[in-house]
Amino acid sequence: MKKILSVLLLFITFTYASVIKDQLNREVVLPDKVDKIVVLQHQSLNVLVQIGAKDKIVGVLQSWEKRLGSDYKRLFNGIDKLPTPGDLKTINFESILNLKPDVVIVTNYIDKSYIEKLEELKIPVVMMSFFKDSSAGKDSVNPEFEDEEYSYDNGLYEGIMLLGKIADKEDNAKELVTYIKNSQNELKEYTKSIKDKIKLYMANPKYQTYGSGKYTSIIFKRAGGENVAAKDIKGYKQVSAEKILSWNPDIIFVQARYSSVVDELKNDKSLKNLDAIKNNKIYLMPEYAKAWGYPTPEAMSIGEFWIAKKLYPDIFKDFDLDKKVKEYYKKFYQFEYDGK
């Protein structure tokens, strides 16, 4: 009788489960139907929203507002009411158990002890990196690549398709990937004649910035600029005022989630001799122009256009950015974007 039960359980497991590989090449067994997702990574959360899977999200990372901005509430109504059973590097197992998720989505760099505990609890866990890499750095927060553009582009496409498979939104995921690729080709046509690169700096709080190995350098390059920090630092680092002065960028960009940095820079006496500050070339980026360490669908689809148009208004004088932005938000966020 026990043998028969074992065979039946094995049959049920293979009938009502699917096996996928996450971005760390781990095999993960998922229920055949995933209805409840806990997502403890903001990049994955943002993708799930854009492929129409937000109704399946039952828990989010604690720092979602810090990572995505307070305005994200208008793109995901009710997100501020959802449980927060963990963050990028931590998991509250009691909260996870109470939510009874079909799958938990985490970062590639979370401590492996959390993964082992979830596996002990028989809760499927998917690790997402949003970069494509087979080296020992696949679980690093500051990876190094031979070809950054290839690794991040293909890692994003792969990540979107993987989340689409998990959430049973594969058609939506394909549509999003296709839109990104078409936008990339369109941008290349506009920027192919640009030769001299404008020197750019990404200003984060407390003199922190992104160097090489991050998407920031890629988004600047594609827009016709050059990340001045890339030649001296790798990953996400804090630098000195002296170092920023030595770089002397033509333009400084500030992310929407760190809007207070704009006034901090203008009032920073140690930086008053920067060309960008003297010429009032400090720009607060819109939420969709996410020059983060990792790429996002909206940054690659419309954010790179915003930066390029800021750098080369004459080249983009006939390009209707507002129309493209509104089209994107309507198509993937189901939201009427009003420019605010």
* Domain contains 43: yes
Residue 4: the pLDDT is: 45
Q: For the chain, give me the number of helices (H) and strands (E)?
A: 14, 12
**Rounded to an integer, what distance in angstroms lies between the CA atom of residue 175 and that of residue 179?**
6
Residues 144 and 221 reside in one and the same domain: no
Residue 14: the pLDDT is: 42
Tell me which H or E stretch contains 145.
Answer: none
Q: Length of the chain in residues, anyone? A: 340
Residues 310 and 211 reside in one and the same domain: yes
Overall number of domains in the chain:
2
- CB neighbours of residue 22 within 10 Å: 20
Q: What is the CATH number of the domain that holds 100?
A: 3.40.50.1980
Residue 292: the pLDDT is: 80
Residues 118 and 207 reside in one and the same domain: no
**Helix 215-222 with 148-166: angle, nearest 10 deg:** 110
Residue 235: the pLDDT is: 87
φ/ψ (deg, to 5) at 265: -65, -45
SS3 268: coil
Residues 127 and 241 reside in one and the same domain: no
Residues 233 and 297 reside in one and the same domain: yes
Residues 99 and 203 reside in one and the same domain: no
What are the C-alpha distances in Å from 103 to residues 20, 127, 256? 12, 11, 31
Residues 147 and 214 reside in one and the same domain: no
- Four-residue CA torsion sign, 50, 54, 58, 63: positive
Residues 162 and 227 reside in one and the same domain: no
Residue 132: the pLDDT is: 87
* Domain contains 237: yes
DSSP one-letter string for 83-130: ---B-SS-B-HHHHHHH--SEEEEETTS-HHHHHHHHHTT--EEEE-S
* Domain contains 62: yes
- The structure tokens listed for 101 are 């998720």
End-to-end CA distance of the chain: 66
> Edge to edge, what strands does the sheet with 57-60 contain?
57-60, 37-39, 103-107, 125-128
pLDDT in tens, the chain (340 residues): 445 444 444 444 444 579 999 999 999 999 999 999 999 999 999 999 999 999 999 999 999 999 998 899 999 999 999 999 999 999 999 999 999 999 999 999 999 999 999 999 999 999 999 998 755 566 677 777 878 899 999 999 999 999 999 999 999 999 999 999 999 999 999 999 998 899 999 999 999 999 988 899 999 999 999 999 999 998 899 999 999 999 999 999 999 889 999 999 999 999 999 999 999 999 999 999 988 888 999 999 999 999 999 999 999 999 999 999 999 999 999 999 987 6
What are the C-alpha distances in Å from 173 to residues 50, 178, 216? 8, 9, 24
User: Which pTM was predicted?
Assistant: 0.90
Residue 5: the pLDDT is: 41
Residues 164 and 226 reside in one and the same domain: no
What are the C-alpha distances in Å from 303 to residues 37, 62, 136, 262? 28, 26, 31, 19
* Domain contains 2: no
Closest Cα partner for 43 from 104, 130, 121?
130
Query: Any residues with CB less than 8 A from the CB of 261 and at least 6 apart, and which?
Result: 203, 204, 205, 254
Q: Does residue 284 contact residue 262 with C-beta atoms inside 8 Å?
A: yes
* Domain contains 325: no
Q: Strand 103-107 vs strand 37-39: parallel, antiparallel, or unpaired?
A: parallel
Residues 26 and 149 reside in one and the same domain: yes
Per 3-state DSSP, the chain is made up of helix, strand and coil in percentages (nearest 5) of 50, 15, 35
**Helix 304-311 with 215-222: angle, nearest 10 deg:** 50
For 263, the domain range is 198-317
